[in-house]
């Protein structure tokens, strides 16, 4: 799969993920709001009913106290008319004056609530919900109280309640139903979001493909004229008839700039071929130690120019089955980078080792400027340069590490980076040795 396909696939997944997260948060908030709104609507209605019933019972009890001649049958009007509604009337001495009993199952619980209410001097008229587990069932009772007054004097208290366990059970079922609908809606919207993200990315992908094809075509077409210009500049530089120091300097500058352009075009062509999956491996068996030694000899003049100590460490011979030319380019990229970002007088070392019979690795360690933690996540991005001023001065274009990562990926290897600002950087490349 091409790198660009991976990028667009990841972008599509990220867009879908962010959309799904937003929808999930919205649906969770909606379910909670619906739950609390339903709970408020149901419980407030129950509370209103209890309050009105308590007031009516207190008024009836007042009539009984004013007119004791009323017969007992008349008192039946004070009793609750609904199945789960109950009340108890107590005088100031704690004697029960009247009642409509709750169910036998919850009556001990109700009487305990009334005792606590009287002992704790809870606010008269307040509506409260009490919960207790009875026979492995969660029982909820809503209760309120109202004073029995006669001629401005409080002679007793009416306690009215109702079992609302079924109400809460219904609320729970409704909430779980809403949650299930929300999950189903989230799944549907995620699918729709994934499809819409794919549609949104199509124009971007088309534009990227055109840009990538242009880079490949332009890089390929520029190689020939740049080679002609470079050859002409070298001929002019060696022409004995040109004596002017100024012209010599101009010709030298042109030659150096053309070399930089040639390297940039070559790197762009490698990147474009990588995107098009045109990079192929030519596997051969060779000595990786010799490849490293050749690179060290090639880079020694640059190290001496900057007074940098270039050291070769570790094993001398390690045979590997891989693409020799690409690994030469890989080693060169890391050593060249190390020399560029190491100040004069520093050191660069390359260590070759075999961590296992099937693996080979080499470390390129320098004492350079180091890489900050935030930059370490980006150094393999194309055209990204940690120190832009130094990169321009050294002729860097920000493609080296991106190409190195692609070469390692083609060989199914890994790159490990360790760095500390001001103390240096170590790149470790681990590859398969391949079959003998």
| 430 neighbors 414 (Cβ within 8 angstroms) | yes
Burial 261-298 (b: 16+ CB within 10 A, else e): ebbbbbbbbbbbbbbeeebeeeeeebebbebbbebbee
Picking from 334, 261, 338, 328, the residue whose alpha carbon sits closest to that of residue 306 is: 338
10-residue mean pLDDT series, the chain (436 residues):
66 88 93 91 88 88 75 44 75 85 88 80 79 89 89 86 89 92 93 87 75 61 68 77 81 77 67 59 88 90 90 91 89 89 91 90 91 82 62 60 85 90 90 75
- Length of the chain (residues): 436
- What does the block give as tokens for 296? 């060290």
The full set of domains in the chain, from first to last, is 3-172 (3.30.450.20), 283-432 (3.30.565.10)
Predicted pLDDT at 27: 93
Cα 186 from Cα 3, distance rounded (Å): 31
DSSP assignment of 138-171 equals: EEEEEEEEEEEEETTEEEEEEEEEEE-HHHHHHH
State the Cα–Cα distance between residues 309 and 300, nearest whole angstrom. 9
DSSP string, 65-81: HH-TTS-HHHHGGGS--
Q: C-alpha dihedral over 95, 96, 102, 105, to 10 degrees?
A: 40
Burial 122-158 (b: 16+ CB within 10 A, else e): eeeeebeebeeeeeeeebbbbbbbbebeeeeeebbbb
User: Model pTM?
Assistant: 0.52
Residue 59, classified by CB atoms within 10 Å of its CB into exposed (0-12), middle (13-18) or buried (19+), is: middle
The dihedral sign for the CA sequence 12, 18, 23, 28: positive
What tokens appear for 301 in the block? 């003049």
| Closest by Cα among 410, 414, 436, 318 to 3 | 410
Q: How much is the pLDDT for 80?
A: 41
Instruction: Please give the Cα distance from 393 to 396 (Å, whole number).
Output: 8
Both tokens assigned to 248:
């010599």
User: 146 has which bridge partners?
Assistant: 158
The candidate with the shortest Cα–Cα distance to 395, out of 300, 265, 257, 272, is 257
> What pLDDT score does 76 carry?
42
Distance CA(279)–CA(297), nearest Å, equals: 28
228's CB contacts (< 8 A; 6+ apart) are: none
- The answer to whether 276 and 1 are in contact (CB under 8 A) is no
């Amino acid at each position: 799969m091409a790198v660009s396909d991976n990028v667009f696939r990841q972008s599509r997944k990220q867009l879908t993920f962010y959309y799904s997260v937003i929808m999930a948060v919205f649906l969770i908030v909606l379910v909670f709001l619906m739950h609390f709104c339903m709970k408020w609507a149901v419980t407030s209605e129950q509370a209103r009913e209890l309050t009105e019933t308590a007031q009516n019972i207190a008024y009836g009890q007042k009539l009984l106290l004013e007119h004791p001649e009323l017969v007992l049958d008349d008192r039946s009007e004070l009793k609750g008319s609904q199945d789960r509604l109950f009340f108890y009337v107590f005088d100031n001495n704690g004697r029960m004056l009247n009642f409509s009993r709750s169910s036998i199952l919850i009556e001990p619980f109700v009487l305990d609530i009334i005792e606590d209410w009287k002992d704790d001097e809870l606010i008269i008229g307040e509506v409260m919900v009490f919960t207790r587990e009875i026979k492995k069932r969660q029982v909820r009772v809503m209760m309120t109280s109202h004073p029995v007054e006669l001629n401005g004097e409080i002679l007793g208290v009416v306690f009215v309640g109702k079992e609302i366990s079924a109400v809460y059970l219904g609320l729970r079922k409704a909430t779980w139903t809403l949650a299930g609908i929300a999950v189903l809606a989230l799944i549907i919207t995620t699918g729709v979001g994934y499809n819409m993200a794919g549609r949104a990315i199509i124009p971007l992908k088309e534009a990227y493909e055109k840009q990538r094809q242009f880079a490949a075509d332009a890089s390929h077409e520029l190689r020939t004229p740049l080679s002609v210009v470079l050859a002409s500049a070298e001929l002019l530089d060696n022409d004995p008839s040109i004596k002017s120091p100024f012209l010599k300097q101009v010709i030298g500058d042109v030659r150096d700039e053309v070399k930089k352009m040639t390297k940039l075009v070559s790197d762009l062509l490698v990147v474009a071929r990588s995107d098009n999956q045109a990079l192929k491996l030519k596997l051969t068996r060779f000595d990786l130690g010799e490849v490293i030694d050749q690179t060290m000899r090639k880079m020694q003049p640059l190290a001496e120019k900057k007074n940098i100590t270039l050291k070769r460490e570790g094993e001398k011979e390690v045979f590997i089955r891989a693409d020799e030319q690409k690994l030469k380019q890989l080693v060169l990229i890391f050593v060249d980078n190390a020399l560029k970002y190491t100040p004069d007088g520093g050191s660069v070392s390359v260590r070759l080792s075999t961590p296992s019979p099937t693996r080979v690795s080499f470390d390129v360690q320098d004492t350079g400027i180091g890489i900050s933690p935030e930059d370490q996540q980006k150094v393999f991005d194309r055209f990204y340069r940690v120190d832009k001023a130094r990169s321009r001065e050294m002729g860097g274009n920000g493609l080296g590490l991106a190409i190195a990562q692609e070469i390692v990926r083609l060989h199914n290897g890994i790159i490990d980076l360790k760095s500390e600002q001001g103390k240096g950087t170590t790149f470790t490349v681990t590859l398969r040795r391949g079959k003998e």
